[in-house]
Amino acid sequence: MTQTIAVIRGDGIGPEIMDATLQVLDALKLGLQYDFVEAGLAAYEKQGELLPAATLEAIHRHRVALKSPLTTPVGEGFSSINVELRKRFDLYANVRPAISFPNTKSRYENIDLITVRENTEGAYIGEGQNLTADGETATLTQKVTRRGSERIVRYAFDLARRVGRKKVTVVHKANILKSTSGLFLKVARQVAAEYPDIQCNEMIVDNTCMQLVMKPEQFDVIVTTNLFGDIISDLCAGLVGGLGLAPGANIGTEAAIFEAVHGSAPDIAGKGIANPVALLLGAVQMLEHLGKVEEAGRLRKAIVDTMQAKDNLTPDLGGTGTTQSFAQAIAARAAG
């Protein structure tokens, strides 16, 4: 059966890295069909809307989207498109692998971990944001539910099983945040008991940050709540060479959106030097999600081999290649 995916070329460097990524995907000869739809500044300029109904409809219909970074215009009345997409499709799992690649400027060589971040609850529900009239006191509501905790922890353990991981670390702050983090930890323990084949350990979030910097090799899969996951996953991206190499998947029951973690990089847009690897790794996650595991592995290997050979690396990786030439080098290897 032919698989169609919604493709959002995005803003800034978005179109450049998306064209490069699709060129590599085409080299894999998967027979994927692309339904190009717009969002972000590109959509706003052409259609007067940041997130047109046709775009939402396409994501809903195809259930899978590959998305370049979007620019949310700064100013009143513009809420983040990414947050909006998460809400619309209840994309509760944010899955961010951090894997060491050859020839990066990273300090570590043996990192292979996946952060699974709860994407819809916690401190990011946008409720109860209050500043007193005198400007002296600010408050905010956090919400953690049994259902939300259970499904994210279950997702992490199922993922661990599916991809042959051995250990899940539950990251929390239940000693202080007794209600919210407390409930998350309690539910995590109950879910973990159903997976005797996967080792489960618990770690308090501040210690986790130190451990990640001191001894990142000890981690396999990390599962945590929204705010901690946001911070930890960026920390992990930094451990393996930064944003140019960090992909992310946003997964819900109705749809899944795959992307690079970085933004639209207006400082280098149009120069043809953006690194396409983060979005390509998002495509690897997408292929795994689509059950095309062999092809996903082939694509990942092509990326690693190209980096190993220092073949047309982009300037952020210390090379003199372009988005296009780097992608061509990867495509040649992916084609076999």
- The residue ranges that bind Mg ion (CB under 5 A) are 230
Residue nearest to Mg ion (CB): 230
* Residue 259 CB, nearest approach to Mg ion (Å): 12
Which of 58, 203, 257, 265 is the binder for ligand NAI (CB under 6 A)? 265
Which does residue 73 touch among ligand NAI, Mg ion, none (CB within 5 to 8 A, set by kind)? none
Residue 303's alpha-carbon distances to 27, 161, 238, in angstroms, are 13, 25, 19
Q: Which is nearer to ligand NAI, 38 or 259 (CB)?
A: 259
Amino acid at 108: Y
Residue with tokens 């005198």: 134
* Residue 270 CB, nearest approach to ligand NAI (Å): 12
- CB-CB neighbours of 152 under 10 Å: 27
Which does residue 71 touch among ligand NAI, Mg ion, none (CB within 5 to 8 A, set by kind)? ligand NAI
Which of 148, 216, 244, 319 is the binder for ligand NAI (CB under 6 A)? 244
* Cα angle for residues 194, 198, 201 (degrees, 5° grid): 95
Which does residue 230 touch among ligand NAI, Mg ion, none (CB within 5 to 8 A, set by kind)? Mg ion
Residue 41's alpha-carbon distances to 48, 54, 78, 261, 282, in angstroms, are 9, 15, 11, 18, 22
Which does residue 20 touch among Mg ion, ligand NAI, none (CB within 5 to 8 A, set by kind)? none
Binding residue count for ligand NAI, defined by CB under 6 A: 21
Q: Which is nearer to Mg ion, 230 or 316 (CB)?
A: 230
Gap between the Cα atoms of 309 and 278, Å rounded: 18
Q: Which is nearer to ligand NAI, 148 or 248 (CB)?
A: 248
By CB under 6 A, the residues from 82 to 101 that bind ligand NAI are 82
Structure tokens at 87: 């809400």
Q: Does 259 bind ligand NAI (CB under 6 A)?
A: yes
Assess contact for 323 and 314: CB atoms under 8 A: yes
Q: Which is nearer to ligand NAI, 177 or 245 (CB)?
A: 245
Q: Which is nearer to ligand NAI, 266 or 291 (CB)?
A: 266
Gap between the Cα atoms of 5 and 208, Å rounded: 37
Assess contact for 316 and 244: CB atoms under 8 A: yes
Q: Does 16 bind ligand NAI (CB under 6 A)?
A: no
Strand, coil or helix: what is 82?
Answer: helix
* Residue 321 CB, nearest approach to Mg ion (Å): 28
Gap between the Cα atoms of 160 and 153, Å rounded: 11
Binding piece for ligand NAI, criterion CB under 6 A, among 26-34, 110-118, 136-144, 258-266: 258-266
Q: How many helices (H) and strands (E) does the chain have?
A: 11, 12
User: Distance from CA of residue 98 to its chain's centroid?
Assistant: 10
Residue 123's alpha-carbon distances to 19, 65, 91, 144, 247, in angstroms, are 36, 26, 16, 9, 23
* Residue 298 CB, nearest approach to ligand NAI (Å): 22
Assess contact for 120 and 142: CB atoms under 8 A: no
Q: Does 267 bind ligand NAI (CB under 6 A)?
A: yes
Q: Does 72 bind ligand NAI (CB under 6 A)?
A: yes
Q: Which is nearer to ligand NAI, 35 or 84 (CB)?
A: 84
Q: Does 104 bind ligand NAI (CB under 6 A)?
A: no
Structure tokens at 310: 């220092």
* Residue 263 CB, nearest approach to ligand NAI (Å): 2
Contacts of 251 (CB under 8 A, 6+ apart): 91, 92, 93, 94, 95, 155, 289
Q: Does 275 bind ligand NAI (CB under 6 A)?
A: yes
Indicate which residues carry an active-site annotation.
124, 173, 206, 230, 234
Q: Which residues bind ligand NAI (CB under 6 A)?
A: 13, 17, 69-72, 82, 243-244, 259, 262-268, 274-275, 278, 316
